[in-house]
Structure formats: C-alpha cells, structure tokens
Structure 1
Amino acid sequence: MLFDRLAFCCSKHTSSSQRKYPTVIEELCHQFSLANLKKSTNNFDENGVIGYGRFGKVYKGCLQHNDGSDYSVTLKRLGVKDSRGLEQFKNEIELLCQLRHPNCVSLIGFCNHKKEKILVYEYMSNGSLHQHLRGGLLSWKKRLEICIEAAHGLHYLHTGAKRTIIHRNINPSNILLDNNMKSKLTDFRLSIQGPRYGSKPKPIKVYVIEEVVCGRNCLIIPTETEVLEKPVEENIDQNIKGKIAPECWQVFIDIIIRCLKYEPDERPTMGEVEVQLEHALSMQEQADITNTNSDYTLFSTTTIHLGLELESNPEESDT
C-alpha cells in the first residue's frame, strides 16, 4: 500500500530529526490527536451524532483555525475490527490525499491512535442526497443538477489522475450536499485504482437511478430472466410527477438504458454521461419556458431488463 511505501521511503532517505513529518501522507493530510478530536465533539457526545453506517458513527465537530476562528467538520469514527477495516481506513486516506475536485469531499485530516481510527472531512451542512430524496422536497431540475455534479466527480476519478480511480460504492447516501446544495462524492474506503485512465464503468447500480426518480427504494430484484414488472414511468415520485418534460425524460432514460448494457464497449464513458445529463437538463429548461401552467404527460413505457447485469460484481459498479 502507498501508506506503507511512503513511510518506508521517508525513513530511508531522511532521518527523524530532519523530517518535519513522519510520512508524506501526514504532510499532505493533517494528523489530529485523539484529545483534539475528543474536545471538538465534547468527548464524542451522542448529541453530536449526525449519521450512522456499517463503518461506525459520524459526528459533527468544531475545530479552530490558526487565527482562533471556529469551523465545523465531519468526523467519521470507524469501527475498525480487523485488517480489512484497517486497509479501508488507509485506502481512503491515500486516495483522498490525491484528489482535488469541487465534486469530491475534502479530507482535512485523520487520527490513528491505537484502536481509534477517525477521518476528518469538510462539513457538508445539507446532509446526503438520500435524506433529501426521502423527504421528497427536491425538484426534478435540482435532482438532475445533482446527478450532473456527481457525474463531474466520477469523470474526474476515472480520467483526472494518472490511474483510473473506481469508487465502487456510489449511492444516494454517499452523495453529500453543501450549504449551496452542490453535491460532492464521499466514502472512498472501497475504491480501487485501475491500470490506466478512461476505463468504462461497470453495469449501473439500478437503485441509484430509481431512488433519484422514484424517491424511494421500490424495486424488487428480479430473477435472472425477469424484467421490472412495472414501467419506470409508473413509479415516478409523486412529488415530481407531471414536472418532467417528455423531451428531457427521453434523453434521461436513454442514458440509463445505455449504462445498463452488459458489454463494456456498449456502455458510455462518464464523459458521455455528463454530456447527456446536461442535455437532458437543457431540454427541461427549454420546455419550461413555454409550458408554465400545465403538467407534463409521459406517454412512454420503459421496462428495464436486469438479468445479466445483476450477475456482475456490484462492488465494481461506478455509475
């Protein structure tokens, strides 16, 4: 792992008395003391918990800049119980140290103190896309904008570095929203680096799309040869039903179907997904200029064939 290689290289070429940082990672990413993070969360007070996950609890904390001013942070306190959990902890630090993009959450620092493994991120004041979809308050256009921003982040991961980074855990809970409702990708613990940039994403995770469109987890996983019993149009979230222009919907559903192609060469790159989503938003905005009073009607009936797509490894899907 890079985490260990960097530590070895630093120790090999520079004595501890000459080094300001024990590893390159700590130079790029601040290492907090456990005492400092306890203070920032009032000793991990339960009232400061803002989320839960398979990895552990998420807290809102308060730290200070060098000038004494306060700023909010998010602390992910990992329940690392084995070597796999430790590798995921190191993996997220190593990857996020390399990333600089407005649609990827920024890692501020970490704490590695005995059994305590804590990641410290910028604070995202509007929670996750999942929370807003369950609340049903997002307009169709805002949902499209968030999808476009997430696609920007994924395109950067796939092509913005020397080696492709595959996130492998894209879902509405891992798309966070800042105070301006701009989206950022988070949770890179399962990410891997590929051999080269520009590789195509694996088959799409259907629940990402259906939650954006339907606002809830309404799909039942079919058997190998089944299709979804109801057309997608019949499951659209009531909060946005009648708000989707047919022209926009056609572009949106076409890109979904292309992402679901089993053969990699038939699937679009994330760059193509970006362009098509932006085109869908443009079609919606154009339609809204002339249609200001009445609801839209979708006459299409789209069924999604899953069969073969479900056979692929879900952890390698990145759309």
Structure 2
Amino acid sequence: MIRRMALQCFCFGCSKKHSSSSKRPYQTTVLEELFHHFSLADLRKATNNFHENNLIGRGGFGKVYEGCLQLDHVATAVVAVKVKSIHIYYKPKEFKNEIELLCQLRHPNLISLIGFCVHKDKEIIVYEYMSNGSLADRLFESDAREPLSWKKRLEICIGVARGLHYLHSGLKRTIIHRNIKPANILLDDNMEPKISDLGISVQGALFTEKPKPIQVRAKETFTGFSGPLDYISPEHLYQGTVTDKCDVYSFGIVLLEVVSGKPVNAIRNEMPGSQQPPNEEIEMSNNGSESSSDDDHISMYWDSYIMLRLRAEDIDPALVGNIAPQCYAAYIDIIDRCLKDEPNERPIMGEVEVLLEHALTLQLEADATDTSDHDYLSLFTTIT
C-alpha cells in the first residue's frame, strides 16, 4: 500500500496547476521515505563533479559514474550514478518509466534503485554498485581478468532467466524488458547477474485478462536502442508487435554470445554467405510498416547461425575441452527454440529457466564422472 501511495505521489507534470506553481515536475513526500531524493550537489560531490576518472560505463541513456554517498546520515556506500544524455533518441518518459518500475520490483536478479535526482534539465538515477561490471565487459573486453568458466556462464544465464521470468509472470502485470543484451546484465561482488536499464520496458495486461500483443509504433521500435539491432525479434522490429516472447528472442542471442565469447555481429560476419543487418533506422511507410519488401530481413541472417555447432573456432577458446557434449547439445537446443521466427514457437521464460538448469545439471554430472578433458571434437559429432 505504501509503495502504491509512493507511485501516486511520484507524478511527473501530473497537473497544469502543479506545474505552474512549482518548477519541480513531481512530488516526493512519500517516495523520499522509500528512496533517496538526492540533490545535484550530493551527486557532484559523490562523483568528483562527474569526473572522467569516475566514469564506469555509457549507453543510450547516458553516462554512468562510480560514486560514494552517505546514506541515512550514517552509512557510506559505493553507488552507480546514471546521468541522462542529451542524445537525440533519449525520451524523458524513459526516466519516469524506469523509476516507476524499479519502485515496484524486488528480485535478486534485478538491479536495485537507491534514489534519483531531478534538477532543472538534469535527470539522474542512483543504483546499487555492481563491482564486476557488465556481462559484455567480461565476455568481449580483453583484460587481465580470468575468463568466465562454462559453469559460471551457465549460472549467470540461469540468473538472468529467473529475473526475466519474474518480470513476465511474477507481478500483477507482465513487464517486457525490450532491451536484453550483455551490456544490460550487470554482475555483483559474487558474480550474480542483475538485469538493468528498464527505461523502454512496457507493461502488459493484468494476469486476469487475456494476454494480447502490445503495439508499439514502428518508428519507436528503433529509438532507445544503442548499437546494432541484433537483439530485437523480427515481429518487434518490423511489425512493432511486443510480447514477452520478444525478450525470449533477445535472450537467445545473449546465449549465443555467452558460448562464443564474441558479439553477435562478429559471429555473423564470420559466417559464410552472411550479411550485416542495418544499424540505422529502416524507412517506414505512412501506415507504420516497413517499406522494404524484405520481410525476412532478420530471420535470414539466423538461418546460418546454426553453423556455430559445426565450427569449433566459433566457440570461445577459453571453453575448449570444458563443455560436456550432452550439456552443449541441450544448450544449443535452447538457443534454437528461443530464436524461432514465430513467437508462439518460442518457450516462455519459465521453461527456458528450467532447461538451463537441466543443462547445468548435465555439466555437473559429467564433471563428477569424468575428470579428463571433454573430447571437443566428439562434442560436434554428438550434436550434428
């Protein structure tokens, strides 16, 4: 009840009367009791005036800084401070949307909100600090850190699946993330994954109602996404149709990157006969649909992704000899199912979670009964 009251009080420009009487576009009476409303001075001090040395990440929303804040006038905590960008694709409603959603969500595999700041044109969100960076950092960045083991990668994938399962079915309304990718999967001190960046997430119908696809204007499908459009499902990209199965598709791409240790566009570029998808907006017709006749634009790229199972060089070299054939076969089957062209043919996230747990069990059983290196060549023979 308190949290519901907080959300009611957290109204951005909720009435003309309010906006005309105050420059602050929201009320925080109850919300401030649950989450800190930091002053800009607090956050400047915490981040050394947003110094580049404190910069730990950047994305479509803006830059993220490491900071040190005093909470409750007693404890001092390291936090992550995300500052709004003035990028052309940024929409103010994304800030509001993320705050409102994070106020409602509580799950060990979702990032926690600590507080926020609104000061004139500044919009800032303060999160718990993730000491091990993002999954993208650990997979794609070459540094002195030891590569993630196959077991740890499976555990991270299971944690992400649990977080998505919670978003899809753990609340009164389904929440569709819409931006699942390794850069938005953060790792804490214990390498537990936490899903972040809910700015463009959308809420579905109540569970008491019949679920139906959400229509997002085709142009809006592209805004808010940084980098290539590789993670977006075909129906989301071309018809503006959004369901929980869009997240399943995106997660399938993440699973592919986890086993390869490469960004998905790099995998595609190395595949014979493959083409690079567009990184820019596709021209839309007046009715909001794609103007090109190439309706299979995305799916045709993934007709060849299955070659990953045929080519040993497409597996992360750090995993060679460490994947049990039975586990790998189960893992590839999950990717197959998540990347189905038809949304109805993809599993729900609860099923993906169970399948990944089964794959991990197969790996642990193989490790317990066989102390020698797994025959990497037989791995490919087994599943083809």
Structure 1 residue 228, shift from structure 2 partner: 1.8
Where 1:146 maps in the other structure, the secondary structure is helix
The answer to whether the 8 A contact 2:109-2:162 is kept is yes
Counterpart-to-counterpart distance in 2, 1:119 and 1:38: 13
Aligned twin of 2:370: 291
Q: Which of the residues 195, 201, 204 maps onto 2:249?
A: 204
| Equivalence for 1:113 | 119
State the TM-score, normalizing by the size of structure 1.
0.84
Q: Can you give the 5+ residue segments of structure 1 that lack an aligned partner in the other structure?
A: 304-319
- SS of equivalent residue, structure 1 residue 157: helix
Alignment CA distance shift 1:282-1:90 (3 Å): same
Partner of 1:316: none
> Is 1:251–2:330 an aligned residue pair?
yes
Tell me which residue corresponds to 1:153: 163
**Contact residue 326 and residue 363 of structure 2 kept, 8 A:** yes
Q: Which amino acid in 1 is paired with 2:268?
A: I
The 1-side partners of 2:253 and 2:118 are apart by: 34
Separation in 2, partners of 1:200, 1:70: 38
Q: Which residue, out of 283, 288, 308, partners 1:232? A: 308
Change (3 A) 1:236 1:288: same
Deviation readout 1:125-183 (Å, 9 max, x if unpaired): 11011111124700111000000000000000001111100001000111100001111
Asked if 2 retains the 8 angstrom alpha-carbon contact of 1:129 and 1:172, the reply is: yes
CA displacement at 1:284 relative to structure 2: 0.1
Provide the C-alpha distance between the structure 1 equivalents of 2:139 and 2:89, rounded to a whole number of angstroms: 35
Contact 2:112 2:127 in 1 (8 A): yes
Aligned to 1:101: 107
Instruction: Name the counterpart of 1:51.
Output: 57
Q: Match for residue 219 of structure 1? A: 267
1:282 is the counterpart of 2:361: yes
Alpha-carbon contact 1:80-1:117 (below 8 Å) kept: no
Judge which range, 214-223 or 34-43, deviates more.
214-223
Computed over aligned residues only, the root mean square deviation of the Cα atoms, in angstroms, reads 2.7
1:292-319 deviations in whole A, cap 9, x for unaligned?
122333124879xxxxxxxxxxxxxxxx
Assess if the C-alpha contact under 8 Å between 2:161 and 2:349 holds in 1. Answer: yes
- Pairwise CA distance, 1:77: 0.7
Q: Offset at 1:85? A: 1.8
- Pairwise CA distance, 1:231: 1.7
- Tell me, yes or no, if the aligned pair for 1:40 and 1:61 is still in contact at 8 Å: yes
Which stretch shifts more, 219-228 or 236-245? 219-228
Which residue is 2:153 aligned to?
Answer: 143
Contact 2:308–2:315 (Cα < 8 Å) also in 1: yes
Q: Which whole-Å deviations, capped at 9, do the CAs of 1:103-124 have from their partners, x for residues lacking one?
A: 0000111111111111100001
In the TM superposition, what is the alpha-carbon distance from 1:3 to its structure 2 partner? 6.6
> Is the Cα contact below 8 Å between 2:106 and 2:112 reproduced in 1?
yes
Equivalences, count: 294
Range with bigger deviation, 255-264 or 137-146: 255-264
Q: Answer 1 or 2: higher relative contact order, Cα 8 Å, separation at least 6.
A: 1
Q: Identity of aligned pairs, percent?
A: 52
Instruction: Report the TM-score, using the length of structure 2 for normalisation.
Output: 0.70
**How far apart are the structure 2 equivalents of 1:83 and 1:258?**
32
* Equivalence for 1:269: 348
Contact 1:207 1:219 (C-alpha < 8 Å) held by counterparts: no
Q: Distance in 1 between matches of 2:342 and 2:371?
A: 41
Query: What is the rounded CA distance, in whole Å, between the counterparts of 1:128 and 1:183 in structure 2?
Result: 9
Query: Would the alpha carbon gap of residues 118 and 300 (structure 1) be closer, same or farther in structure 2, given more than 3 Å must change?
Result: farther
2:203 aligned residue: 193
CA deviation after TM superposition for structure 1 residue 6, in Å: 5.0
Segments of 5+ residues of structure 2 without an aligned counterpart are 1-5, 212-242, 276-295
